[in-house]
Amino acid sequence: MLLVVGLGNPGARHVANRHNIGFMAVEAIARRHDIAPWRRRFHGVAVEGAIGAERVLLLLPGTFMNESGRAVGEAANFYKLAPGEIVVFHDEVDLPPSKLRVKTGGGVAGHNGLRSITAHVGNDYRRVRIGIGKPEVKELVPHHVLGDFAKSDRAWVAALCEIVADNAELLAKGQDSSFQNKVHLAMQAKGFGEPGEPLPSAD
């Protein structure tokens, strides 16, 4: 079993927030792979299904971002999962908008959702970091992440979520570098990114 977590805040007022792109990506995976219906479980909503030959539990914590670890920890304990069997999709201010990187472990870089998860399950889970950019003034970061995506962002957000869903089987198989590169090339093909931009290396 692989636990695939999307980070975000529950409620209608947060649906289009930059901070909720983790929710958006995991919801796209559920749609693409016909994984339904969502049910209230583990302090959020969850659904079991398959991505290719891999069994997965998709989870959207309902605890608000700062307490995400409560939901992730409960689900991980229930299924007796090791940190390496957990994949977390989250927003990343230190990456440019539309860029995606996959890494295992590392710091939390001020992300309260990651800090909470690390406190509950340890640090060695896999992270899919989705770039949302950041303002030049550090004090504006909270307003930035809790603000809605601009109208000009919507095309890349939709494209990235669909491309992530298309290639999720690679992630489920543990082929993180291949997944990252496929997403990178597909985004370039759709006009997001510079032609000839080098393939990213997995962190």
Structure tokens at 71: 């939901």
CA 167: distance to chain centroid? 14
Q: Does residue 143 have an active-site annotation?
A: no
Q: Which of 19, 33, 111, 184 is catalytic?
A: 19
Contact 162, 100 (CB under 8 A): no
Q: What distance in Å separates the CA atoms of residue 6 and residue 23, rounded to the nearest whole number?
A: 4
Active site residues: 19
